[in-house]
């Protein structure tokens, strides 16, 4: 008997944004250290940005895994290898989310959401 297990592995996009901002923040810090040494306020702000970015990178580093087990009618949500949530199918759903574009068009996307899991966009924006 074949088990009906459906799995989706993904990494949060905020992780990649944080890495890119960390890279550009390092370039800005190097510029101010080499060429503009009298601006101490900018360097203090740069340290604050580093703290926030390192927190975000550590928070979103682990891969997210959504597992649907049809035979048992449950879903599981993993952050890295740690089981964050396991519950029945009635606590997970797919919803439509509406966004208004800059030219007043209405864009609709599918979002996987539920109790104890992070929302995940199933469709492109």
Q: How far is the C-alpha of 42 from the C-alpha of 52, rounded, in Å?
A: 15
Do 43 and 37 form a contact (C-beta atoms < 8 A)? no
Q: How far is the C-alpha of 74 from the C-alpha of 67, rounded, in Å?
A: 8
Do 57 and 19 form a contact (C-beta atoms < 8 A)? yes
Average pLDDT of the residues in 77-93: 90
Average per-residue pLDDT for the chain: 83
> Which value, in Å, is the radius of gyration of the alpha carbons in the chain?
20
- The string of DSSP codes covering 40-86 is HHHHHHHHHHHHHHHHHHHHH-SPEEEEEETTTTEEEEEETTEEEEE
| Per-residue pLDDT reduced to its tens digit, 55-69 | 888 888 888 999 999
pTM here is 0.68
Do 125 and 107 form a contact (C-beta atoms < 8 A)? yes
């Amino acid at each position: 008997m074949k088990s009906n297990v459906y799995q989706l592995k993904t990494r949060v996009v905020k992780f990649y944004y944080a890495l890119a901002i960390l890279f550009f923040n390092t370039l800005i810090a190097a510029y101010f250290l080499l060429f503009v040494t009298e601006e101490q306020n900018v360097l203090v702000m740069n340290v604050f940005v580093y703290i926030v970015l390192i927190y975000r990178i550590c928070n979103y580093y682990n891969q997210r895994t959504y597992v649907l087990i049809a035979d048992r009618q449950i879903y599981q949500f993993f952050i890295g290898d740690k089981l964050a949530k396991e519950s029945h199918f009635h606590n997970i759903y797919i919803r439509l989310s509406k966004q208004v574009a800059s030219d007043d068009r209405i864009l609709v996307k599918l979002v996987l959401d539920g109790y104890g899991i992070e929302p995940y966009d199933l469709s492109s924006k």
